[in-house]
Every structure is written in structure tokens, then in C-alpha cells.
Amino acid sequence: MSMFDITKVAASETGVIELKRGDDSPLTDDKGNILSVTVHGPGSKVYRAAEAKRERARLERLRKNGGRVEALADTNAEAQAEFLAACTISFNGWTYPTADKLEGEAMFRAAYLDPALGFIRDHVFEQINDWSHFTKGSAKS
């Protein structure tokens, strides 16, 4: 009996997350094009390294604050932004303009840290853990 090679359905290392507005409608540009972010997914080395770094930082904050979980609340958005910036490959159809012309990971971090765009950070953070963005034939967000 022939066995199915399960690696044929392995997740891809990268995926695209279509952005949503705060009201869950598609986030589009002035011409109606849906804006998105290309990211490294949970099956990638980049994601796993960023996740390990985030977990080490979280444990260090807990250690420094005597194990008080409240110490994590103030840094949650920052930790998420740092993690997402490390996992982001590109902003598709949009950019985040900064006075000092940041590019790449620094620009991604600045966008994810912008409180007025917190809905983007929250959406990407939620969706980056959804394997459907990294498996063939799966639905997008």
C-alpha cells in the first residue's frame, strides 16, 4: 500500500494577510484596492526566532517584577509590535511615512506602534497565528 507524503500539504513559510478596518470591513486604498501585509508564518524559522525572543523578553519582565503578571500589560503592544516587525516582509499597497524616512523593520515597528493604527497591529497579530494564511487553498482573513 502506498503512503501519502504528508509534506505535500506543509505550510508555506510566508503568507499574505489582508487588512481590515476597525469595523472588520476590508481596508482599502483610495481606488478600492485591498491593503495587505506579507509575513513569515508559524512554520518559518524567522517566526520561531521572533517568538522565542518575545517569550524570553516576557519571562525576563516577569522575573524583574517578582512574577507579577500586571508588569506585562504595559509592554504588550510594544512586544507585539517588535514581534510583528521581525516577522513582516512587506506592506502591500501602503507605506508608513515617518519624518526620518524609516525603512524595513524600523518602519514596520513604527507603524505597529502607532496608537491610531492599533487595529492593524491587533489584526495582524491575531491573523499571523492562523495557519490558513500559510496553507494552500485556504481562506484569507
Q: Quick check: 2 and 124 in contact, CB under 8 A?
A: no
Give the residue-averaged pLDDT of 15-39: 95
Mean pLDDT score of the chain, rounded to an integer?
A: 88
Residue 6 lies in a domain: no
User: Quick check: 71 pLDDT over 60?
Assistant: no
Residue 5 lies in a domain: no
How far the first Cα of the chain sits from its last, in Å, is 38
Tell whether the torsion through CA atoms of 65, 71, 72 and 75 is positive or negative: negative
Where residue 134 falls among pLDDT bands split at 50, 70, 90? very high
Residue 77 lies in a domain: yes
Higher pLDDT, 62 or 115: 115
Q: Quick check: 5 and 54 in contact, CB under 8 A?
A: no
Residue 48 lies in a domain: yes
Whole-model pTM?
Answer: 0.84
User: Quick check: 8 pLDDT over 90?
Assistant: no
Residue 135 lies in a domain: no
Where residue 138 falls among pLDDT bands split at 50, 70, 90? very low
Residue 96 lies in a domain: yes
Residue 10 lies in a domain: no
Give the C-alpha separation, 99 to 25, whole Å.
Answer: 29
**What is the DSSP track for 86-137?**
HHEEEEES-----TT---HHHHHHHHHH-GGGHHHHHHHHHHTT-GGGGSTT
Give the residue-averaged pLDDT of 86-93: 98
A 10 A CB-CB count for 34 gives 15
Give the residue-averaged pLDDT of 46-75: 79
Give ∠ CA 8-14-19 in degrees, rounded to 5. Answer: 125
Residue 46 lies in a domain: yes
How many domains, in total, are found in the chain? 1
Give the C-alpha separation, 78 to 105, whole Å.
Answer: 14
Range of the domain at 62: 38-130
